[in-house]
Amino acid sequence: MTGGSESAVSRETGGVEDDFSPVPFDGLSAMDTPIGAAAQRATQVLHPTEANALPKPRERRVFTIANQKGGVGKTTTAVNIAAALAVQGLTVLVVDLDPQGNASTALGVPHYSGVPSSYEILLGEIGAAEAVQQSPHNERLFCIPATIDLAGAEIELVSMVARENRLRNALTKEALGDRDYDYIIIDCPPSLGLLTVNALVAAKEVLIPIQCEYYALEGVGQLLRNIELVQSHLNPELHVSTVLLTMYDGRTKLADQVASEVRSHFGDIVLRSIIPRSVKVSEAPGYGMTVLDYDPGSRGAMSYLDAGRELAARGLEEKQGNE
Ligand code: ATP
Ligand code: MG
């Protein structure tokens, strides 16, 4: 755990990471300095009170994080939203369905070839509970890792019975055992192949991360058409419930243009919280950590914490709205 005061202090410079910092001057308390404020935020993150714990959803929510465009922040979003929910009192399982195994790495979970993983559960060789590992940084955060063996699964699955339903059939409450997961978050590879289709069949909700860069919406039409196909043929409950803007750089006009284009395209399902481009966010996986563990007082950690709160609150609204 790097939650000590040193790691709690964001050392980043430049406009993006500095926005939180009040200008210190004589007569203010330690908490009014940038370092003090970051430390205070870190303390709040690491020691949430009952008052700011998130409400449990009335039923388990299963999210697939999908966008066939590579490098848009799918994995970063999967692990950091999961950590944000877990740190605020909920029990969360991340299913790594990408042979790259980046989500497993970021959660500090071993995923060398031969470790019980999403590959064996897709093939039906083991039950899901046997592949679950606890992330070393949070007692409520769990992961079914992906090993390189999964790279062959796209092809192996083709000839299998019920090939699109294998993940759903593997993630039943019975197969997952006694632990009461509030959220399951599935991280997809950057393709629309059978692994992503399995993830879409296993979930009720899709979260699409969109990078605030050129060509942000490129390929999103194709993704939405695939989601519709899965919805009409395999999983009628599936819907895109959430869009998250990632890697936002407030210093560029382009980021604002992309953000407003995405908001006008998707409307209310776009979270108000935006994830800034942040060196801390990109450094964290190198230490086998989410940004919430690596630098809990940083802007990146705060933004994922906010996104997690918003997502949890919206789930309750959606539920009430349907009643
Ligand atoms: P892939 O399609 O390969 O699975 P992905 O969509 O999962 O990629 P990530 O791996 O989450 O994308 O992110 C791509 C790269 O961008 C990574 O190096 C990650 O550390 C970095 N990154 C993600 N989010 C941010 C951010 N908010 N600020 C800075 N870097 C980021
Ligand atoms: Mg990824």
* Domain annotation covers residue 110: yes
pLDDT digits (tens, 9 = 90+) for 232-288: 999 999 999 999 999 999 899 999 999 999 999 999 999 999 999 999 999 999 999
Atom index in ligand 1 nearest the CA of residue 190 equals 2
The reply to whether ligand 1 has any atom less than 6 angstroms from the CB of 244 is no
| Spacing, Cα 98 to ligand 2 middle (Å) | 7
Placement of tokens 């092809």 in the chain: 155
Atom nearest to 76 CA in ligand 1: 11
Q: What integer pLDDT is reported at residue 1 of this predicted model?
A: 38
| Number of Cβ atoms within 10 Å of the Cβ of 129 | 15
Tell me, what's the pLDDT at 53?
87
- Which residue has the least CA distance to atom 18 on ligand 1? 282
Model confidence band, residue 3 (pLDDT cutoffs 50, 70, 90): very low
In a domain, 220, yes or no: yes
| 202 lies in some domain | yes
Q: How far is the CA of 65 from the centre of ligand 2 (A)?
A: 9
How many structural domains are present in the chain?
1
* Contact (Cβ atoms closer than 8 angstroms) between residue 285 and residue 106: yes
User: Within a domain: residue 163?
Assistant: yes
Task: Please state the pTM of the whole predicted model.
Answer: 0.88
Domain containing residue 163: 54-322
Instruction: Answer whether residue 10 shows pLDDT above 90.
Output: no
Q: Are 67 and 219 in contact (CB under 8 A)?
A: yes
Task: Write out pLDDT tens, residues 131-163.
Answer: 999 999 999 999 999 999 999 998 999 998 899
Q: Ligand 2 centre from 37 Cα, in Å? A: 32
Ligand 1 within 6 A of 297 CB? no
The answer to whether the CB of 207 is under 6 A from ligand 1 is no
pLDDT at 189 over 90: yes
Residue 33 lies in a domain: no
User: Residue 41's pLDDT is what?
Assistant: 67
Q: Is residue 153 part of a domain?
A: yes
User: In which band, very low, low, confident or very high, does the pLDDT at 66 lie, cut at 50, 70 and 90?
Assistant: very high
Q: Is the pLDDT of residue 28 over 90?
A: no
With a 6 Å cutoff on the Cβ, whether 211 touches ligand 1 is no
Tally of CB atoms within 10 A around 251: 11
Domain-embedded: residue 10 = no
**Taking 60 as the threshold, does the pLDDT of residue 18 lie above it?**
no
Query: How many alpha carbons fall within 13 Å on the CB side of residue 199?
Result: 30
Confirm or reject: Cβ of 190 under 6 Å from ligand 1.
Answer: yes
Q: Report the C-alpha gap between 200 and 158 in whole angstroms.
A: 16
- What's 70's domain CATH number? 3.40.50.300
Q: Is the separation of the CB atoms in 222 and 130 below 8 Å?
A: no
Task: Assess if residue 17 is contained within a domain.
Answer: no
